């Protein structure tokens, strides 16, 4: 069972002192306006679990935009959305959201909600899961007081993911993807009734725009172990909503950890993860997925490049292949696609030559430049590019070492 911590103590222990002071000041200013301020959402969940979360969401029973303007040190550090009663301020290196407590109504499944001001309790019930439907008071005697009208604390203790009402996935089916993400991140379990409704409402994913679906996929790719979410989605029949032939099986258990290894100390890019997730699709299937999700250009191109590199594996593994030939086989492709190909390649010959390009060949350049060639008497024209390419090949294949070696090639073969 999860250990749940006193909210006030956890705020002091798990948030930076400067941020705690900011929240206390915001609470005092809200009280002076005769309004109430609350910490809400995922930060509350994580504080109750004794974890640090700097994604700060504040709910105001009152005028959230006005309070945000008071708390912003510069007016160009604030973004306001009047229609949604929200504002975001930049504070140091963080972005802090202020939102008026509000209710939501949905004109039809999958539609964006219509919002109107309401109480804290009504605000909390519009959220996705009970563990995210808690608040901590920040004003006056409410400071550190937990508001938990839907028993989220109990679900934290029982390590369960539970929706707040039976139409939750119908109203917003992106909650299906979020439920899997929280389940795998926290090591929790979607409770039986919620899981039953989730399976029932998988078809409702068709009611949501591609942009909103891709946003959820992007959030999964930022998780510490995204393969766990995709494998769970595959097991439940959710992954095939992205593409019928997309699979997340045991191969991800090998590919994704390698992606983290080759990317260390950085997190793997979404392009690398998506290239690995979709690697076994053919190019037509990849384009269908790209069309459905409207993927960013970099990701879509990386997926295409990975497919093209795969078609060149037999040439890359040719016995006695020159280093210049390896260079010209690969130089048009993205580095993320080459990294994906190294991870997936089945033969050591292919892996070695891909690594050779990535680690060394791609950075090799001739010492002579176009200006040097002009000084040597070479005239302007397409042949200048041919000369530079010849020098590059000579450098790649270790046929030249010095500037004098390169000048000798130019004088012997190309000078007037």
Tens of pLDDT, residue by residue over 236-274, are 999 999 999 999 999 999 999 999 999 999 999 999 999
Residues 388 and 329 in one domain: no
Among residues 109, 143, 159, which one ends one of the domains?
A: 159
- pLDDT at position 7 over 80: yes
209 domain-assigned: no
pLDDT for 42 equals 94
Query: 111 and 87: one domain?
Result: yes
Residue 192 lies in a domain: no
Q: Are residues 150 and 6 in the same domain?
A: yes
User: Which range marks the domain in which residue 304 is found?
Assistant: 247-363
* CA separation for the pair 19, 55 (Å, rounded): 11
The answer to whether the beta carbons of residues 248 and 277 sit under 8 Å apart is yes
363, 380, 402 - which closes a domain: 363
- CATH for 117: 3.30.460.10
| 398 and 291 within one domain | no
At 272-330, the pLDDT tens digits run 999 999 999 999 999 999 999 999 999 999 999 999 999 999 999 998 999 999 999 99
**DSSP alpha helices (H): ranges in 143-225?**
152-158, 168-171, 174-186, 192-200, 210-221
The pLDDT value recorded for residue 295 is 95
Nearest to 230 by CA among 279, 180, 194: 180
> First CA to last CA across the chain, in angstroms?
83
Residue 123 within a domain: yes
Assign 94 to helix, strand or coil. Answer: strand
pLDDT tens, residue by residue, 151-194: 999 999 999 999 999 999 999 999 999 999 999 999 999 999 99
| Closest of 221, 212, 220 to residue 171, by C-alpha | 212
> Quick check: 47 pLDDT over 60?
yes
For residue 212, being part of any structural domain is answered with: no
Q: What does the pLDDT read at residue 373?
A: 85
Average pLDDT, the chain: 92
341 and 377 both lie in a single domain: no
What are the tokens at 92?
A: 């140091």
Whether 351 and 404 share a structural domain = no
pTM of the full structure = 0.88
Q: Give pLDDT, residue 107.
A: 65
Mark whether 358 and 409 lie in a shared domain.
no
- Alpha-carbon gap, residue 221 to 217, rounded angstroms: 6
**pLDDT at position 1:** 47
Residues 68 and 87 in one domain: yes
In a domain, 15, yes or no: yes
Judged against a pLDDT cut of 60, whether residue 359 lies above it is answered with yes
**Cα–Cα distance, 313 to 340 (Å, whole number):** 13
Number of domain units in the chain: 3
């Amino acid at each position: 069972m999860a250990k749940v911590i006193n909210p006030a103590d956890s705020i002091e222990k798990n948030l930076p002192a400067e941020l705690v002071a900011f929240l206390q000041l915001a609470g005092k200013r809200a009280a002076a306006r005769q309004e109430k301020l609350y910490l809400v959402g995922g930060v509350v969940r994580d504080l109750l679990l004794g974890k640090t979360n700097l994604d700060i969401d504040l709910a105001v029973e009152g005028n959230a935009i006005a309070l945000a303007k008071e708390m912003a040190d510069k007016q160009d550090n604030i973004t306001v959305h009047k229609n949604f009663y929200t504002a975001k301020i930049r504070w140091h290196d963080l972005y802090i959201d202020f939102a008026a407590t509000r209710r939501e109504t949905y004109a039809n499944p999958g539609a964006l909600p219509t919002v109107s001001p309401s109480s804290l309790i009504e605000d909390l019930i519009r959220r996705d899961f009970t563990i995210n439907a808690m608040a901590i008071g920040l004003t006056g005697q409410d400071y550190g007081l937990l508001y938990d009208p839907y028993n989220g604390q109990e679900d934290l203790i029982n390590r369960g993911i539970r929706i707040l009402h039976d139409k939750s996935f119908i109203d917003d089916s992106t909650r299906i993807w979020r439920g899997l993400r929280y389940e795998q991140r926290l090591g929790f379990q979607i409770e039986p009734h919620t899981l039953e409704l989730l399976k029932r409402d998988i078809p409702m994913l068709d009611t949501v725009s591609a942009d909103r679906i891709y946003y959820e996929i992007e959030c999964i790719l930022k998780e510490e172990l995204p393969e766990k979410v995709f494998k769970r989605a595959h097991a439940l029949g959710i992954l095939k909503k992205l593409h019928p032939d997309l699979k997340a099986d045991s191969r991800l258990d090998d590919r994704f950890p390698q992606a983290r290894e080759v990317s260390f100390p950085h997190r793997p890019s979404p392009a690398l993860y998506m290239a690995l997730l979709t690697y076994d699709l053919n190019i037509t299937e990849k384009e269908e997925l790209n069309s459905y999700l409207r993927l960013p250009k970099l990701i879509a191109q990386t997926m295409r490049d990975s497919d093209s590199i795969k078609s060149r594996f037999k040439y890359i593994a040719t016995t006695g292949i020159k280093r210049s030939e390896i260079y010209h086989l690969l130089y048009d492709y993205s580095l993320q696609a080459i990294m994906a190909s190294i991870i997936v390649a089945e033969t050591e010959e292919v892996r070695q030559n891909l690594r050779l390009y990535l680690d060394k060949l791609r950075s090799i350049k001739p010492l002579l430049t176009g200006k040097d060639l002009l000084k040597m008497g070479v005239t302007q024209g397409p042949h200048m590019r041919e000369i530079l390419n010849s020098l590059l090949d000579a450098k790649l294949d270790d046929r030249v070492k010095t500037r004098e070696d390169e000048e000798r090639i130019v004088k012997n073969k190309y000078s007037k």
